[in-house]
């Protein structure tokens, strides 16, 4: 029971990846924090609901119901909608109004619902309409290549496009890297060293905040026969 989904990378300069799936039952799942914003289209009993989901600043639990079909469109860092600032969408979901037929309203225009196959065409139309923009300074800032940009201007543009600070994004990405190592079977202490945490408690606090699980929980999930795995805090 749970989610069944397929995901593909996108060749669009505005998109990170696209996912399509459905739920097999009622339940809930751990949701990690998310530095990207999404457009999500949920279909249930013939109706489609378009939702703009902002970046999620901490992990949490998300419930789901049986019979949902979902299309997730994940945008690259630096992609944003000028009329809907990302910084105003943190930890929130904005339901877009339905228009006539198989369409919805966005920036005073009616748009046909995209599909898993034609998302890129939908995104190109949003860009041509100036509904969607991209600020390359975000990627440059994350790579440390912004020496010629005044710090105040950089902070403003970064927050406008992502809604987050560079420090926040780096913390989440480090936690994801640590979780990936643990999923591969790397020990907790080796993960602390590889990713650059101060100590094991630092790693545990980070993963609980950003991923929603402790290091021991991640190891046990990926090593079913593991009976004992030390952790800094009880699970």
The conformational region for residue 131 under phi > 0 = left, psi -120 to 50 = alpha, else beta, is alpha
Tokens encoding 83: 């009329």
Cα 132 to chain centroid, rounded:
18
The pLDDT tens digits along the chain (235 residues) read 477 899 999 999 999 999 999 998 888 889 999 999 999 999 988 889 999 999 999 999 988 888 899 999 999 999 999 999 999 999 999 999 999 888 999 999 999 999 999 999 999 999 999 999 999 999 999 988 877 889 899 999 999 999 999 999 999 999 999 999 999 999 999 999 999 999 999 999 999 999 999 999 999 987 755 444 444 444 3
* pTM for this prediction: 0.88
Tokens encoding 124: 């190109």
Coil vs helix vs strand at 80: strand
């Amino acid at each position: 029971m749970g989610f069944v989904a397929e995901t593909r990378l996108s060749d669009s300069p505005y998109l990170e990846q696209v996912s399509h799936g459905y739920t097999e039952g009622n339940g809930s799942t751990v949701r990690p924090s998310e530095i990207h914003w999404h457009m999500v289209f949920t279909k249930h009993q013939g109706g489609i609901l378009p939702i703009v989901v902002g970046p999620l600043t901490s992990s949490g639990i998300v419930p789901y119901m049986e019979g949902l079909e979902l299309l997730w469109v994940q945008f690259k860092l630096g992609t944003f909608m000028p009329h809907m600032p990302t910084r105003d969408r943190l930890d929130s979901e904005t339901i877009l109004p339905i228009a006539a037929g198989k369409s919805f309203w966005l920036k005073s225009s009616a748009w046909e619902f995209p599909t898993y196959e034609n998302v890129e065409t939908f995104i190109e139309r949003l860009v041509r309409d100036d509904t969607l923009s991209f600020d390359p300074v975000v990627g440059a800032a994350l790579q440390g290549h912004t020496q010629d940009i005044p710090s105040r201007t950089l902070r403003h543009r970064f927050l406008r496009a992502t809604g987050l600070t560079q420090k926040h994004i780096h913390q989440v990405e480090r936690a994801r890297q640590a979780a990936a190592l643990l999923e591969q079977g790397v020990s907790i202490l080796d993960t602390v060293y590889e990713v650059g945490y101060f100590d094991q408690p630092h790693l545990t606090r980070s993963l609980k905040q950003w991923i929603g699980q402790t290091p021991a929980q991640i190891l046990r999930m990926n090593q079913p026969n593991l009976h004992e795995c030390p952790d800094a805090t009880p699970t």
